[in-house]
């Protein structure tokens, strides 16, 4: 089928829709700075994020049962804090810091681009973030999703095939009627392997000055764009 | 906990948010009228809807495996058509008619009321309709949901307890932080039985002149309103 058959766009969120690195650094500084901690908060964000894939890997490979990303993030945070010499936080303070992932800023083009894309397409999250994380982030950032889908409702973390398959099934669409939108080559390759159309949106600032991968589209994806506004224009929205 | 602790409103949809009876009658007439059929299309709508609870009952009691409402609606339609002497429709025409349930009009106060409520609360569907049905209906009617939840993602049809329990879990809320909004006493009683707050919104025209039940709130629900605008006012939105 052709791109004209696409009915729904399914979105990676962390890095593609929102700027997690600067947002987490800002939140960590705002919460921990007043407690007297003066750290490299971007390094704090990077090292928290570095624990993301290893934590999900244990769920993917069956080493542990299904666990929501909020809970993985919290476990990772509890390991991270002593590495930075941070201690003495209350449970409520740890929860609030952990929910910094619910308060991530959209990239400057995100809301305008999504608003244009929504006129023509169903917009659904296909993130590894859990439902409440996605819902709260959407409220915070004004993200106009039509549906919150992805890992938690599919009970599978990307890039497992079930994450893509079940998202299309919930939308009652064939995979080719879906287009995965992501800033990460691996996510798009996995989606394409399940029959999805693919759109690469470059996010060169995702890792700040440290970005060494996903600088550009490394495969012949159906669309390559440098913002959601560019994506909307290329899809005729 | 008090009503001030409510974070999310979870909505029954058929009858509460949308006017299924007039919409199905309109769609059936528009599709079948030009084929020469001249029927009482409101009766057609009523009799299609009458098959709704018995069809779900077989899923609830384990007589058959999980089946989406779209598929139950279609089976019911195939039984209904011969009762009205209607035959010869193509598979595509049957599908289009079946998806009349995706094209239901909101009540006149629905969109304004939801828009006001959305400023203060997370708005989620807690309907027996499947995800794609709810997504398409929202696109059709401009319903500003934050999340499409309910039966399909919970894998349980209301009033089974799991439908309510799992919806609250997906939102990462305690049941008392959720308020079920419905025009049906039974739905609200079931939700209250799982710890939800409750709001009854009267929809006296749901069954046209034939409405004999759910005329009014029969229990002391937390809020009783006569429209979504009234509900917004009563919740301080």
Helix (H) or strand (E) holding B137: helix B131-141
Domains of chain B: 3-19+104-234 (3.40.50.1000), 20-102 (1.10.150.240)
Which among B130, B131, B172 is the nearest to A70, CB-wise? B172
Does residue A210 have a pLDDT over 90? no
For residues B216 and B198, give the distance between their C-alpha atoms in angstroms, rounded to a whole number: 14
**Paired strand residues for B18:** B14, B106
Extract the tokens encoding A127.
């993130």
**Interface size, chain A vs chain B, as Cβ–Cβ contacts under 8 Å:** 55
* Nearest-10 Cα torsion for A136, A61, A169, B78: -120
* pLDDT score of A209: 86
Output DSSP code: residue B120: T
Q: How many CA atoms lie within 13 A of A221 on its CB side?
A: 28
Inter-chain touch A139–B149, beta carbons under 8 Å = no
Angstroms from B22 CA to nearest CA on chain A: 25
Cβ of residue B132 closer than 8 Å to a chain A Cβ: yes
Please report how the helices A52-60 and A69-83 are oriented relative to each other, as an axis angle in degrees rounded to 10: 140
For residues B28 and B30, give the distance between their C-alpha atoms in angstroms, rounded to a whole number: 5
Cβ burial of A110 (10 Å; 0-12, 13-18, 19+) is buried
Per-residue pLDDT of chain B (237 residues; tens, 9 = 90+): 689 999 999 999 999 999 999 999 999 999 999 999 999 999 999 999 999 999 999 999 999 999 999 999 999 999 999 999 999 999 999 999 999 999 999 999 999 999 999 999 999 999 999 999 999 999 999 999 999 999 999 999 999 999 999 999 999 999 999 999 999 999 999 999 999 999 999 999 999 987 788 999 999 999 999 999 999 999 999
Angstroms from B153 CA to nearest CA on chain A: 6
Q: What is the ipTM of this complex?
A: 0.96
Output DSSP code: residue A118: H
Instruction: Return the residue matching tokens 């006001």.
Output: B116
Q: Are A178 and A167 in contact (CB under 8 A)?
A: yes
For A48-99, what is each residue's pLDDT tens digit? 999 999 999 999 999 999 999 999 999 999 999 999 999 999 999 999 999 9
* pLDDT score of B41: 98
* pLDDT score of B209: 86
Instruction: Return the residue matching tokens 């400023």.
Output: B119
The fraction of chain A above a pLDDT of 70, given in percent, is 100
Mean pLDDT on A146-168: 98
Which candidate, A152, A154, A153, A123, places its Cα nearest to that of A138?
A123
* pLDDT score of B135: 98
* pLDDT score of B211: 74
* pLDDT score of B195: 98
Mutate to test the interface with A, among B68, B127, B135, B136 (most CBs of A within 10 A): B135
Question: Long-range contacts of range B216-220, CB-CB < 8 Å, 24 or more positions apart?
Answer: B217/B185, B218/B185, B219/B185, B219/B188, B219/B189, B219/B192
For A1-48, what is each residue's pLDDT tens digit? 689 999 999 999 999 999 999 999 999 999 999 999 999 999 999 999
Angstroms from A133 CA to nearest CA on chain B: 8
Extract the tokens encoding B193.
């039985």
Of B213 and A236, the structure prediction assigns the larger pLDDT to: A236
Question: Whole-angstrom distance between the N-terminal and C-terminal Cα of chain B?
Answer: 20
């Amino acid at each position: 089928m052709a791109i004209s058959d696409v009915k729904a766009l399914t979105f990676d969120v962390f890095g593609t829709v929102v700027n997690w690195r600067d947002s987490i650094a800002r939140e960590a500084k705002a919460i921990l700075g007043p407690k007297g901690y003066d750290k490299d908060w971007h390094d704090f964000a990077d090292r928290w994020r570095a624990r993301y894939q290893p934590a999900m890997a244990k769920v993917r490979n069956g080493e542990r049962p299904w666990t929501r990303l909020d809970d993985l993030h919290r476990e990772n945070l509890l390991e991270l804090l002593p590495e930075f010499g941070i201690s003495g936080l209350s449970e409520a303070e740890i929860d609030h810091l952990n929910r910094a992932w619910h308060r991530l800023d959209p990239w400057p083009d995100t809301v305008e681009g999504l608003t244009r894309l929504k006129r023509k397409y169903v917009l659904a999250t296909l993130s590894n973030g859990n439902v409440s994380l996605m819902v709260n982030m959407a409220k915070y950032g004004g993200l106009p999703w039509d549906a919150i889908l992805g890992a938690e409702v599919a009970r599978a973390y990307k890039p497992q095939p079930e994450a893509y398959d079940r998202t299309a099934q919930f939308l009652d669409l064939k995979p080719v009627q879906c287009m995965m939108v992501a800033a990460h080559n691996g996510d798009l390759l996995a989606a394409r392997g399940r029959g999805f159309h693919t759109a690469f949106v470059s996010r060169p600032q995702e890792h700040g000055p440290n970005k060494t991968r996903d600088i550009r589209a490394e495969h012949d994806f159906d669309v390559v764009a440098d913002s959601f506004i560019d994506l909307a224009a290329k899809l005729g929205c």
